[in-house]
Copies of this chain bind each other. A is one copy, B any other.
Amino acid sequence: MVNSPHEGGAALGEFERIRRFFAPLAGPGGLGLVDDAALADCRTGYRLVMTADAMVAGVHFLPEDPPDLVAKKLLRVNLSDLAAMGARPLHYLLTTALPISLGADWVEEFARGLGADQQLYGVDLLGGDSVSTPGPTTLSLTAIGEVAAGTEIRRSGARPGDEVWVSGTIGDAYIGLGILRGGYPELDDENRAALVRRFQLPEPRVRLGPALVCIAHAMIDISDGLLADLGHICETSHVAAIVELPALPMSAAARRVAALEPGIAARLAIGGDDYELAFTAAPEAAETIRGIGAWLDVAVARIGRIEAGQGVRLVDATGRELFVEVTGYRHF
């Protein structure tokens, strides 16, 4: 083929790569990945919800990271965005820009990771593109979900008097990244592995998000860090948030690290990549929220409140404001 903008990869052409590794992942709407575009049905009374995230080798993951984990993380960060709107995941489209030097093994492992997560989350591949690049592996995924029209949970719905909640535990991924960079050498292997895994493989709250429809007033998934992401809710809702540091849910592994390095607790609130849900709801909803958490076996913790005003304040047990040094943008 001449001048094809779609052709890429030396060892394996685009068509062969798609046929061998990606076509088996296609759902009915993907039309076997042999058409120009894919089809997505939407049930009457529902809306489709869409989000896209990109990941670059050396920036968002390490080139030597296991390809199946990279694939899963790429899918999961997008499913986390859908969950934050209260949407149930359905489909995804994928574009890959791969270095010529990348072998078929990498792509096979990558596709294997996607396949495993497709089963886990009940989604399928609709289509995409596969091109070559002289630069780092660059991946982009568009995820599609559904929500009953009008029930989508926005960032802008927080109201003074709401309580602030988070799912799961906070800060594990932040410590996990620190471990990958050589930090916390005194920590035992089991806890190290647990924390690294939380960084490499987030667990998007795909069941909790939709269960909070008509309960949560505002919701976001924590990717930039708890305080920063609550800041996004405050900004779009025109309110202030107070977060109580002692109320932050920490994993057993993170508590172990905090015992070794007491100052770390507050920094966990600004670490990113948690992919937990942060949401606000009326105080009367507290019992319902705890019930949903118990039913879905997802920890939920009340960590603060929404007030009139602006900005996010982190306070200690006495209500005194804590100032956390933001160490700035850091990737690998």
Q: What is the bound-complex CA distance between A95 and B93, given in angstroms? A: 12
Q: Could you tell me if A154 and B53 are in contact, using CB atoms closer than 8 angstroms?
A: no
Q: Could you tell me if A38 and B42 are in contact, using CB atoms closer than 8 angstroms?
A: no
A84 touches B (CB below 8 Å)? yes
Question: Given that A2-B327, A6-B223, A225-B2 are known contacts, is A36 also in contact with B85, CB under 8 Å in the complex?
Answer: yes
Question: Given that A44-B44, A95-B140, A140-B129 are known contacts, is A272 also in contact with B4, CB under 8 Å in the complex?
Answer: yes
Residues of B within 8 A of A56 (CB): 97, 131-135, 138
Q: What is the bound-complex CA distance between A82 and B143, given in angstroms? A: 18
**Closest beta carbon of chain B to A129's beta carbon, Å:** 5
* A-B CB contact pairs (8 Å), 10 listed: A2-B271, A2-B326, A4-B225, A6-B224, A36-B82, A50-B127, A52-B93, A54-B131, A132-B331, A135-B136
Residues of B within 8 A of A136 (CB): 133-135
The residue of chain B having its C-beta at the shortest distance from the C-beta of A4 within the complex is B224
A236 touches B (CB below 8 Å)? yes
Q: Could you tell me if A177 and B3 are in contact, using CB atoms closer than 8 angstroms?
A: yes
Q: Could you tell me if B54 and A1 are in contact, using CB atoms closer than 8 angstroms?
A: no
A48 touches B (CB below 8 Å)? yes
